[in-house]
Structure 1
Amino acid sequence: MTKTYDYDLFVIGAGSGGVRASRVAAAHGARVAIAEEYRVGGTCVIRGCVPKKLLVYGAHFAEDLQDAARFGWKVGKCDFDWPVLRDNVLGEVERLEGIYQDILDRHEVDTIPQRATLTGPHEIALADGTKVTAATILIATGAHPVVPKLPGAEHGITSNEVFHLERMPKRVVIAGGGYIANEFAGIFHEFSCHVTLVNRGEVILRHYDEQIRDRLLTISLMKGIEFKFNAPFEKIEKRKDGTLKIHVSGQDPLEADLLLWAVGRAPNTAGLGLEKVGVELGKNGAILVDEDNQSSVPSIYGIGDVTDRVQLTPVAIREGQAFADTVFGGKPTRVDYAHIPSAVFSHPPIAGVGMTEGEARDKLGSYKAYVSDFRPMKNVLAGRNERALYKIIVDQETDRVVGLHMIGPDAPEILQAAAIAVKAGLTKAQFDDTLALHPTMSEELVLMR
């Protein structure tokens, strides 16, 4: 490390990736500072996957309480109190923020609670006018929800604000067809809202296996969630009583108490001074980086959602680790982006890893899809007609399992272990040779013939 600069590493953005890079670099002996203009923890901890998953847990009680009677429990009349859940979730977020700050403090990383911008390849300007220098600068500012530019768009909210609602609305319109839209559709529905999901395209979750996403659509429709396809938004009107009149192409106007924009996320690069110092940007303002997370300016790197490669928290963490080990640890490391597992915490949830059947059809010489379509034991006794669907995609030339996709209770929990097998390149024969753990839903993975 050199004393030429104030710091060996200056990180802008204290989300999951930035915090990991900071503390690992510090552990390698680097003098590290991290700037965060909002709250330590980033999207995942503060306004993303963690609070959202807690809302998913809260929403599940709606069905669990209904099912309880069939299992002998006399539950009685139940009322849902949104402020209680909201405040408890926000309290947990605050606790986790403290843990992240403690991690930085224990590794002697200087935390600067200000906005930071670039004024040179080794210079950073802080909001209070202070300027600091660093041998290496890492941009880990994440991404933000996109709000379309159309009349009245400001009357909607995004996933950033949804955790702070004063009261639970009765009618919710959700714009989008991706994982955020479908997750909040399930959450709001279980909280007794009438939900309409409006998508400008023809399908939901277009990057997931077609059969799996079609099953979610079928179940969602059975639950009473409405879908509008091929329906671009035109304008939103806000009435004096606070309700919304939402105009979409080719449809009658929709009446709603809340409009949630879930139409994508864009990298947080605006106003950082990246272009001025020569950092090349790509689509949506994403920082273009190489396999070592290095930008077009040798001293400036980027990780996580700001690079718009794979917008997942575990990927950002892995990239932060690889960056710190490569640049400061003397251990050159690159992230392997093959076989990244993903999940949609819908009702019921979806999980998948590897090739979808459509991808296998396009890329492999020959493949075989094994499918198990069944009703989970709990649903049978509860009188609930929802069916789970598991699918294994096999390369027939090698017998390797190249894809695994599922929808049903606890699908993400099951898939995490199964993803190890797919990543390791295990064969269908090895799946078949594994004894079933009975009675479980996951045993279907080794029983498909």
Structure 2
Amino acid sequence: MTTSLQELLAGWITGQRWFAGKGRAIDDLSIDSEIEIAGGDPALLHLVVCVRQGDRRTRYQIPVGLREWLPDRLEHVRIGRCRRDGREADVYDALHDSALTAHLLEGMAADHAFDGLAFHRADGVEIDTSQRSLVLTAEQSNTSLVYGDTYIFKLFRQLSPGTNPELEIITALAGAGSSHVARPYGWIETTLEDEPTTLAIMQEYLRNANEGWSMALTSVRDLYASADGMPAEDAGGDFAGEARRLGVATAQVHRELARAFPTGTIEPPELKRMTERFRRRLDKAVAEVPLLGEHADVAAEAFDRLGDLGHAVPVQRVHGDYHLGQVMRTMTDWVVLDFEGEPGQPLAERRALDSPLRDVAGMLRSFEYAARHLLADHPDADGLEHRAREWSERNRAAFLAGYSEGGGRVRGDEAVLLRALELSKAVYEVVYEARNRPSWLPIPLAAFR
């Protein structure tokens, strides 16, 4: 009996890192769209599939390769074997085959349009189609390819109708001359539910840049290895100067976003509703993680102060998922990546206006994680606690100083909002760590002390 392509995909998709429905059975998988990008052997198909799990339906994008016989180098991405167009063929994840991903680069360079699939080249750029691709393996929710050392191509696996906020933002900021985004080279889109929908984005690959998270961890390790009592500023690898420069860059990006997109305000009644949402989330978190109850009054007081603000709060487009893993240090400045927001949230929510202090709060929490996560399984965790606190306080202060220097506001009532946003983020982290990494639970709990 021949296995159908749908059956193969239904068995394969649950094991992929980017599949959002883990732990629940698949009731049905259907192919909503099938477009042949390249024929022959190997052939390249672009699929949009719909997975039904109970009352939840989720669309995924899957570029599929077809070969009469799969070479050994591609066995690790085999999906299965099925009969198509009167012949047997091996089916596999096409993004791992540079012979097929070359068609994606060529389509973008030529502004190629298929039936239902459109490739776009950014204005004023040329694309070198000789570059060969390599899949990056670190991502959870998307799949990225690096073409040579020139381009990074991010394909969004889970699809929602509409333009991805990352494409909107990097196109607008790059067009305004921002030095804090990687240059866009092109994108792919289709139509879902009568809306243009972003499938993939290609940008400049920052080959000589360093990730903020890695730089911060190096600094923390240096401090932990230094003589006890040595000030953080004297330990090799002090990060505070970079934290300040990152604060400046963050404020500049927020100013650029405010110029490029509409802005607005949150009025006091909405602030009260926000406070009520924070309180409900806190109550649920305490019920699930009773240890948080010892410190819940700290968060409750911060939320109450936010609810008492009697004036409007400015809102604008923001990053939405800002942390040290989303920034890269080039030879000249900090560059911000991944403006798509939290991938699990609805597209309208990720594009909504918000306080720029939400990004600031996310980065402050990231500094706290960088300082403390190495203590999770450290034999001398108690002895190094004061060093973690010293590193966190020093770099948080430097970041905030830079943010103010760059034109961001964190004084007076802004500080009340920032504190509430940071503790709301920490409440979420408590629940997440309790469910997934219990040994990391002391990291978010430290925010309440």
- Pairwise same-fold verdict (TM > 0.5): no
TM-score, length of structure 1 as denominator length: 0.25
Q: With a CA cutoff of 8 Å and minimum separation of 6, indicate the structure with the bigger relative contact order.
A: 1
TM-score, length of structure 2 as denominator length: 0.25
